[in-house]
């Protein structure tokens, strides 16, 4: 039965609709397609498809009667054969639809399958049509329309029908197969992407998310893919990275590839992740139709890098000696940069009170209601915490919150994280304490940042304390812990510089204790130090905190009052004086002290050095007026040469610029060298050599006698130690001059003893020369010191004998081994007859009490002859040798003295 044209069109439409509905499941509709053809033609329809291996299989069939259909299905099911060797391929090698005729059947008989030939015979299929289903030149199946009527009864229309149906089927099947391939490809792709840790999304040209792979995005950002669909991806990007992201995206939409960029994206739970993002424009791709955005999580790397940068920055601060609080602020900033919703602070243990004091935390400003007295926690609290852990504590339960629990809860503190800051020796420096509004444990990243913060804080504190200690020792007095001269001068220099820039002038107050020596004498050295400490504290208490109270050494203090008028300086001085005059109880003793104060107030063009000198000058004026005086420097006082000299001497003694020369002493009885006398020498930078009579006296006046004596003795001991194995020098006696002031100083004997010990020079090498006046005036204190010196092996000589109106009878009480006749006697020897008588009498008396006599200032041969004749034992003077530097005196003593031994009756070994 030949269908009509309209029926034909309906058939095609129905076939296409069937395929349309089937989608990729085209197999399901192939029977239906045959059914449609069968209904139209009344004949069976059969579809066989070519599989991947090129084999034909039954794929669809229909027939009007059930029997025929069953026979067809039974025969063809399971019957496979290569298409190339099928009857179809042989009858229509070009693939055009053909009528099946006895001729072409015969031509293809060798390829005919017996089962199909048998089927055709059974069912009376004597003719029919066959059409290969072709797509893109490839045969994918065969549509067979067998019929029982005679060959040749088909017309052109039938041929066109079967060709059209075969064509449409081929296209539909091919399409369905493509879709199916694509789907499976997609599924495979999706499965693959889900395995990758990267997040992959397909977005529209406006950034709307159309597709997100499962897995990656959840792992990285916590979102489920379906939560993101329809969202604009820029909503996930950190505000500060918007511009960057947009620029990159626009770039990706253009012709070139987008260079990858790193930006922050919001995590579902809050906080930000650093993503390494690349984008590929596949908007024109039929399958993808969007921009593929791939994101790789680089948060750890970025954080590690950031921490490294922060660490370097902080270490650099430490290395360059930045102020500690600045450095610790930077540490807090670093921690806050890596911790969400937290405010970090650094608390350090206060050295004195041992409480934790908030020291740094730039963001700690709004920390609510933490009263300072409540915010201090004992160091014990930190000491009890696990040293290397971050302890989480809530105000509700943590014992350390006790005093301010309610306040803390009320102010919204959910918990604190505390990490102790310790040094290498496990000493607790303090703690990093981070306050948060929620209550949770730190994440791995947060932990890392806090640990690093605590370590860096320890380094910074350690370094700062070291530097502090060094700086403190260099700028502070060890006894009183007050600033020393150096720091004082530096502060004064700064004040003078400020004055030059227009600030009010500073004042310098020089303060010298009046009877401090007595405290030392009576109560001892340790008590003296204690008094200085107490007085230092008193002085500090009566000045402004910004003023500087310094100890200049000995019993001298200096006070710098910044921006002070003359009148104010005087009233400050009065307060200082009152503070010193207040009686002082120490170990059951009451001490009454007073002081002299000199004031100098800055004038333009006066250097800080000059200011100190002026205060010094004024102070000596005050001292001269008697104790408890206050004197302001006036231009009338103009720094006198003497004041300059005092100042310079003080400096020279402190700088150890006093030298020693040695003058030889000859033994007239044996005509051999008996020893040398050490004489102090000072060379002033401008004035040249200053006679010791001047500077020794000056040193006594300015309280530097002890210091001067110390430095002379040090030099003598050093030379003697050097001469210890020198045959010329090792047995020479060493005369040293000791002043009354030295003798009276309780530190003197100890200092001598120490110096002997340190140099290894024996005490019995020394002859201590004390002037007659000293012995008489300082009788008691001298006696005690003399006894102590003798116990060190030293002997004693009476110096400048004959100048002090004392009697030998009195001097006998001193266990001296000799006396030195003053030069004035020797000068008079040639001029005055009676002088010789006096000398003779002195010699006789001295010998009577076992003392030797030394003539000083022997300048001429006559004088030498005279003293020799008068029975003088030893002689010293320019004639025999001038005072010389150590090496030169050694050279002189290597030769015998120009003296003939004279044997008097006395010296004869009778
Ligand atoms: P002195 O103890 O009587 O020392 C002897 C002084 O006489 C020395 O003076 C010496 O140079 C000087 N002299 C020695 N032979 C002659 C001479 O033939 N003719 C003249 N015109 N003078 C002679 P110098 O070195 O100027 O010392 C002066 C005084 O300074 C010393 O008198 C002594 O009292 C004191 N002095 C020196 N060195 C020290 C010291 O280290 N400590 C103390 N406390 N006093 C010292
Ligand atoms: Ca002397
Ligand atoms: Ca003398």
Residue nearest to atom 5 of ligand 1 (CA): 856
Distance 711 CA to ligand 1 centre (A): 17
Cβ neighbour number for residue 606 with a 10 Å cutoff: 16
Q: Which among 724, 737, 762 is positioned nearest to 890, based on CA atoms?
A: 724
Distance CA 201, CA 292 (A): 6
Cβ contact 529:581 at 8 Å: no
Nearest ligand to residue 698 Cα: 1
Query: Which of 167-171, 192-196, 276-280 has the lowest average pLDDT?
Result: 192-196
Mean pLDDT lowest among 273-287, 481-495, 570-584, 749-763: 273-287
Mean pLDDT across 879-905:
88
C-alpha 856 to ligand 1 mean position (Å): 9
Atom 37 of ligand 1, nearest CA residue:
679
Q: Give 217-266 pLDDT, tens digit per residue.
A: 888 899 998 999 999 999 999 999 999 999 889 888 887 777 888 899 99
* Neighbour tally for 260: CB within 10 Å: 14
Whether the Cβ atoms of residue 535 and residue 542 lie closer than 8 Å to each other: no
* CA distances for 313 relative to 310, 318, 321, 894, angstroms: 5, 9, 13, 69
Distance of CA 822 to the CA centre of its chain: 69
Are 55 and 26 in contact by the 8 Å Cβ rule? The answer is: no
CA-nearest residue, atom 8 of ligand 1: 679
The number of the ligand 1 atom at minimal distance from the alpha carbon of 705 is: 44
- C-alpha 737 – ligand 3 centre gap (Å): 9
| Res 217: pLDDT | 87
Q: Are 779 and 752 in contact (CB under 8 A)?
A: no
**Which residues does residue 295 pair with via DSSP β-bridges, in sequence order?**
199, 277
pLDDT beyond 70 at 567: yes
Q: Ligand 1 centre and the CA of 487: distance in Å? A: 38
Compute, in angstroms, the gap from residue 907 CA to the centroid of ligand 3.
Answer: 26
Q: Which ligand sits closest to the CA of 884?
A: 1
* Residue of minimum CA distance from atom 42 in ligand 1: 737
What CA–CA distance (Å, rounded) separates 488 from 77?
115
* Residue 876 alpha carbon, nearest atom of ligand 1: 15
Q: What is the pLDDT of residue 98?
A: 76
Q: Which of 269-273, 368-372, 498-502, 818-822 has the lowest mean pLDDT?
A: 368-372
| Residues surrounding ion ligand 2 at CB below 5 Å | 737, 769, 799
Rounded Cα–Cα distance for residues 342 and 270 (Å):
14
The contacts found for 392-396 with CB under 8 angstroms, 24 or more apart, are: 392/416, 392/417, 392/439, 392/440, 392/441, 392/442, 393/418, 394/439
Angle at 300 between CA 298 and CA 303, to 5 degrees: 105
User: Which H or E element spans position 872?
Assistant: none
Taken in order 478, 479, 480, 485, the sign of the CA dihedral is negative
Instruction: Write down the pTM of the prediction.
Output: 0.41
For the chain, the straight-line distance linking the first and the last C-alpha, in angstroms and rounded, comes to 185
User: From ligand 1's centre to the CA of 679, what distance in Å?
Assistant: 6
- Residue 910 clears pLDDT 60, i.e. is over it: no
Looking at all shown ligands, the one closest to residue 804's CA atom is 3
734 CA to middle of ligand 2, Å? 11
What is the rounded distance in angstroms from the CA atom of residue 728 to the CA atom of residue 102?
Answer: 154
Determine the 3-state secondary structure of 893 from DSSP: helix
pLDDT(122) > 70:
yes
Please give the helix or strand (H or E) that residue 335 lies within, else none: helix 324-338
C-alpha of residue 871 to centroid of ligand 1, in Å: 23
Taking the CA of residue 800 as reference, the ligand 1 atom at the shortest distance is 3
**Residues 835, 867 contacting (CB under 8 angstroms):** no
Which residues make Cβ contacts (< 8 Å) with residue 845, sequence separation at least 6?
808
Determine the pLDDT at residue 203: 92
pLDDT band at 368 (very low <50, low <70, confident <90, very high): very low
431 φ/ψ angles, rounded to the nearest 5 degrees? -155, 150
Q: Which of 744, 749, 774, 775 is nearest to 516 (CA)?
A: 744
DSSP string, 153-169: ---HHHHHHHHHHHHHH
pLDDT in tens, 31-75: 999 999 999 888 999 999 999 888 999 999 999 999 999 999 999
Banded pLDDT at 282 (limits 50, 70, 90): confident
Q: Are the C-beta atoms of residues 273 and 309 closer than 8 Å to each other?
A: no
Atom 15 of ligand 1: nearest residue by CA position:
877
Interval between CA 759 and ligand 1 midpoint (Å): 25
pLDDT digits (tens, 9 = 90+) for 834-883: 778 888 888 988 888 889 999 999 999 999 999 999 999 999 999 999 99
- The protein residue with its alpha carbon nearest to ligand 1, atom 4, reads 679
What are the tens digits of pLDDT across the range 330-360? 999 989 888 877 888 898 888 777 777 778 8
Report residue 211: phi and psi, to 5°: -150, 140
pLDDT score recorded for residue 369:
40
Which residue is closest in CA terms to ligand 1's atom 23?
857
Q: Which has the closest alpha carbon to 339: 423, 452, 234, 455?
A: 452
Identify the nearest ligand to the CA of 696 by its number.
Answer: 1
- 3-state class of 339 per DSSP? coil
In degrees and rounded to multiples of 5, residue 855 shows phi and psi of -90, 125
CA dihedral 466, 472, 477, 483 (to 10 degrees): -170
Of ligand 1's listed atoms, the one at least distance from the Cα of 679 is 38
418 close to 398: Cβ distance less than 8 angstroms: no
For atom 22 of ligand 1, the residue with the nearest CA is 857
Look over the chain and give the mean of its residue pLDDT values, rounded to a whole number.
85
Distance of CA 800 to the CA centre of its chain: 65
pLDDT at 808 over 90: no
- Residue 595's SS3 state is strand
Residues of the chain with pLDDT > 90, as a percent, come to 32
Helix (H, G, I), strand (E, B) or coil at 368: coil
Given ligand 1 and candidates 856, 876, 877, 885, which is best to mutate, with the most ligand atoms within 8 Å of its CB? 856
What pLDDT sits at residue 143? 92
Averaged pLDDT, 564-578: 92
C-alpha of residue 820 to centroid of ligand 3, in Å = 6
- Nearest CA owner, ligand 1 atom 25: 679
Q: pLDDT at position 894, please?
A: 95
Tally Cβ neighbours within 10 Å of residue 1: 9
The CA 887 to ligand 3 mean position distance, Å, reads 23
Write the DSSP symbol of residue 241: G
Q: Which tens digits make up the pLDDT trace of 9-36?
A: 888 888 888 888 888 889 999 999 999 9
Q: Probe ligand 1: pick from 652, 737, 768, 801, max atoms within 8 Å of CB?
A: 737
Tally of CB atoms within 10 A around 273? 21
- How large is the C-alpha radius of gyration of the chain? 58
Instruction: Report CA 333 to chain centroid distance, whole Å.
Output: 14
599 has a pLDDT exceeding 90:
yes
Output the ligand 1 site: residues, CB below 6 A.
663, 679-680, 691-693, 696, 712, 737-739, 769, 799-800, 823, 856-859, 876-878, 883
Q: What is the pLDDT of residues 654-689, one digit of tens each?
A: 888 899 999 999 999 999 999 999 999 999 887 788
Instruction: Report the distance separating Cα 865 and Cα 402, nearest Å.
Output: 98
**Nearest atom within ligand 1 for CA of residue 712:** 41
Q: How many A from CA of 276 to the centre of ligand 2?
A: 91
């Amino acid at each position: 039965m030949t269908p009509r044209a309209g029926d034909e069109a309906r058939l095609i439409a129905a076939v296409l609709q069937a395929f349309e509905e089937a989608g990729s499941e085209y197999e399901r509709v192939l029977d239906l397609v045959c059914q449609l053809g069968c209904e139209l033609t009344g004949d069976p329809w059969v579809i066989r498809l070519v599989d991947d291996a090129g084999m034909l299989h039954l794929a669809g069939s229909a027939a009007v009667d059930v029997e025929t259909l069953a026979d067809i299905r039974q025969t063809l099911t399971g019957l496979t054969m290569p298409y190339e060797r099928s009857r179809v391929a042989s009858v229509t090698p070009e693939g055009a639809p053909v009528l099946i005729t006895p001729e072409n059947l015969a031509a293809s008989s060798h390829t005919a399958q017996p089962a199909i030939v048998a089927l055709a015979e059974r069912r009376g299929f004597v003719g029919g049509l066959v059409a290969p289903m072709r797509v893109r030149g490839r045969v994918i199946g065969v549509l067979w329309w067998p019929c029982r009527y005679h060959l040749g009864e088909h017309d052109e229309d039938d041929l066109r029908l079967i060709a059209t149906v075969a064509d449409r089927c081929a296209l539909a099947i091919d399409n369905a197969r493509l879709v199916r391939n694509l789907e499976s490809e997609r599924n495979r792709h999706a499965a693959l992407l889900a395995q990758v840790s990267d997040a992959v999304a397909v977005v529209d040209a406006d950034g709307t998310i159309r597709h997100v792979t499962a897995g990656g995005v959840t792992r990285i950002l916590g979102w489920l893919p379906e939560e993101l669909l329809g969202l604009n991806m820029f909503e996930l990007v950190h505000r500060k990275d918007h511009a960057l992201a947009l620029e990159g995206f626009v770039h990706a939409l253009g012709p070139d590839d987008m260079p990858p960029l790193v930006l922050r994206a919001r995590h579902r739970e809050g906080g930000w992740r650093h993503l390494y993002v690349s984008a590929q424009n596949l908007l024109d791709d039929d399958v993808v139709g969007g921009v593929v955005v791939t994101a790789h999580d680089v948060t750890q790397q970025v954080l590690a890098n950031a921490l490294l940068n922060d660490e370097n920055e902080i270490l650099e601060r430490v290395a360059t000696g930045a102020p500690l609080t600045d450095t610790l602020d930077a540490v807090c900033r670093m921690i806050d940069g890596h911790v969400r919703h937290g405010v970090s602070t650094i608390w350090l243990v206060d050295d004195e009170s041992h409480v934790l004091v908030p020291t740094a935390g730039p963001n700690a400003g709004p920390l609510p209601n933490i009263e300072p007295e409540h915010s201090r926690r004992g160091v014990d609290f930190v000491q009890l915490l696990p040293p290397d852990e971050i302890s989480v504590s809530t105000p509700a339960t943590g014992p350390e919150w006790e005093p301010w629990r309610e306040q803390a809860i009320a102010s919204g503190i959910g918990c604190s994280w505390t990490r102790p800051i310790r040094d290498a020796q496990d000493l607790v420096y303090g703690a990093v304490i981070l306050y948060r509004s929620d209550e949770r444990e730190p994440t791995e990243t947060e932990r890392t940042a806090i640990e690093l913060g605590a370590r860096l804080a320890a380094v910074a504190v350690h370094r700062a304390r070291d530097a502090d200690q060094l700086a403190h020792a260099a700028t502070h007095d060890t006894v009183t812990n007050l600033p020393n001269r150096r720091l004082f001068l530096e502060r004064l220099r700064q004040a003078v510089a400020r004055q030059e820039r227009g600030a009010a002038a500073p004042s310098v107050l020089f303060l010298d204790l009046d009877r401090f020596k007595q405290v030392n004498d009576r109560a001892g050295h340790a008590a003296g130090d204690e008094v200085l400490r107490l007085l230092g504290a008193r002085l500090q208490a009566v000045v402004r905190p910004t003023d500087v109270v310094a100890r200049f050494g000995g019993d001298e203090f200096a006070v710098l009052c910044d921006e002070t008028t003359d009148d104010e300086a005087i009233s400050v001085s009065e307060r200082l004086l009152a503070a010193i005059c207040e009686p002082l109880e120490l170990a059951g003793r009451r001490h009454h002290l007073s002081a002299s104060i000199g004031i100098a107030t800055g004038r333009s063009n006066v250097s800080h050095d000059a200011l100190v000198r002026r205060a010094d000058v004024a102070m000596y004026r005050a001292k001269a007026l008697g104790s408890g005086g206050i004197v302001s420097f006036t231009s009338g006082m103009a720094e006198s040469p003497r004041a300059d000299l005092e100042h310079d001497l003080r400096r020279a003694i402190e700088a150890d610029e006093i030298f020693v020369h040695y003058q030889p002493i000859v033994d007239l009885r044996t005509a051999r060298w008996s020893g040398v006398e050490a004489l102090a020498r000072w060379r002033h930078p401008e004035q040249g050599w200053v006679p010791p009579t001047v500077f020794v006296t000056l040193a006594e006046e300015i309280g530097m006698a002890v210091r001067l004596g110390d430095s002379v003795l040090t030099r003598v001991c050093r030379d003697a130690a050097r001469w210890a194995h020198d045959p010329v020098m090792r047995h020479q006696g060493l005369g040293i001059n000791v002043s009354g002031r030295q003798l009276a100083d309780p530190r003197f004997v100890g200092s001598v003893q120490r110096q002997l010990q340190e140099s290894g020079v024996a005490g019995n090498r020394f002859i201590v020369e004390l002037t007659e006046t000293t012995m008489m005036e300082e009788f008691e204190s001298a006696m005690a010191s003399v006894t102590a010196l003798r116990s060190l092996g030293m002997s004693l000589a009476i110096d400048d004998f004959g100048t002090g109106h004392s009697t030998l009878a009195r001097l006998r009480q001193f266990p001296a081994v000799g006396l030195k006749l003053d030069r004035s006697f020797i000068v008079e020897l040639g001029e005055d007859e009676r002088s010789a008588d006096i000398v003779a009498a002195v010699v006789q008396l001295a010998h009577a009490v076992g003392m030797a006599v030394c003539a000083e200032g022997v300048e001429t041969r006559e004088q030498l002859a005279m003293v020799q004749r008068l029975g003088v034992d030893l002689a010293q003077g320019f004639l025999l040798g001038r005072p010389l530097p150590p090496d030169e005196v050694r050279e002189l003593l290597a030769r015998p003295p120009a003296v003939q031994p004279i044997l008097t009756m006395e010296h004869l070994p009778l």
